[in-house]
Amino acid sequence: MLEEISARVRENFEAKDRVREEGLKLSRQVVRDCRTATFALHGQNFKKAEKNIEEAKKALFKLDVLFEEHSDIYHAGFVEHAQQEFAEASILLDLLREEEKPETLPSPETLSIGYAAYLNGLGDVVGELRRHVLDLIRTEALEKAEVFLGIMENIHAVLMDFDYPDAITRGLRRKTDVARGLIEKTRGDLINAIQQKKLETAMRELESKLGPAPFPEEQIGPGSR
């Protein structure tokens, strides 16, 4: 009797172990594709980013099918991590691709992922937007940089509303705190850039009014006359 029970349990565990190993491979594929897409987005290579995000979407669908009868493994954590990465890349794609109307965002339902994973992915977007703002500052696109700083602040404001235990939000509070710090740093960087730009503009205007500086008499040597 005990041997029969043991055999059934072992068979079940073996099946779960095989499913888990396959699930880990798929989740790692999602993470790789999403991070490649994020890198491509910062290089304005939207075609490559879209391709990688589509591959990640297919892998996430396979995960859903794979764990259909193994919900205990599905909620072990690695699938949710993959969903977070997918949410981050998908949201960033829409924000950077549509700079004229960056308020457009995919929903959790559109992405077919959980709410907690979506919010955590949204929190990670703040860090990627900081990187984008710094790129805009380097190219002196300060007006666009202000737009994306505003988006960062809006995301943080939304995340602040979800003051629930970590068991529900899956660590969202920590990401919200990190986002606040990144926003403060980005705001400081942008303010400094704007002030520097104003100073340079003022100096150029002053130079144009004063004209070229006269050549100092004392710098002319005795043998130059």
Contact (Cβ atoms closer than 8 angstroms) between residue 49 and residue 33: no
Is 1-98 CATH 1.20.58? yes
Residue 225 confidence (pLDDT): 45
pTM confidence score: 0.85
Residue 101 gets which letter from DSSP?
Answer: S
Q: What is the mean pLDDT of residues 125-148?
A: 96
Q: What is the mean pLDDT of residues 4-24?
A: 92
Question: Tens digit of pLDDT for each residue in 206-222?
Answer: 777 776 656 555 555 55
Output the CA–CA distances (angstroms, integers) from residue 173 to 116, 140, 158, 178, in the order listed: 11, 33, 12, 9
Handedness of CA 7, 8, 9, 11 (dihedral sign): positive
Question: Tens digit of pLDDT for each residue in 56-97?
Answer: 999 999 999 998 888 888 888 899 999 999 999 999 999 998
The CATH number of the domain covering residues in 114-209? 1.20.58.2140
Outline which parts of the chain fall under CATH 1.20.58.2140: 114-209
Q: Which of 128, 146, 155 is nearest to 191 (CA)?
A: 146
Residue with tokens 């073996």: 14
